[in-house]
Amino acid sequence: MTLPIETPALLFSATSLILLAYTNRFLTIAAIVRGLKVSYEQNKTKSILLEISNLNLRLTLIRHMQMYGVLSLFFSVFAMALLFTGFQTWGAYVFGLSLLLLLASLAVSFWEISISVRALRVHLSDLIEEAKEHTRQG
């Protein structure tokens, strides 16, 4: 099997954009956690603790997403180096590994997004119930 050196290079832009998106998600969640910590210090409610626990899990998942993404990029570059030096078979295998790591990163990303959607639906259901009560009273 012949793998041109350009094939692993194609992952560069995609992987760097994915890592940027992961970093943005991390920073957003970190800001939310800081705000919830302040809220908890003022109100000490169980719902805030549950939300912080949920966000802690999401931060862990984002760390894994970033780790797999960075490893994917690393092995993609390593595959290019192997291909450049003439190690065609090893380059193909290492590139395959980089693709598997990218798939793992995307799978964890899907898991994190599904947790996020469930949490938002809980908030929306509370608001919908409150809106229904408001229309019954008004």
Please state the pTM of the whole predicted model.
0.79
Higher per-residue confidence, 123 vs 111: 111
What proportion of the chain, given as a percentage, has pLDDT over 70? 99
CB 77 within 8 A of CB 110: no
Longest dimension (CA), the chain: 76
CA dist list (Å): 137 to 123, 124, 125, 127: 21, 20, 18, 15
At 70-101, the pLDDT tens digits run 999 999 999 999 999 999 999 999 999 999 99
Confidence of residue 47 (pLDDT cuts 50, 70, 90): confident
Q: How many residues does the chain have?
A: 138
Query: Is residue 30 over pLDDT 90?
Result: no
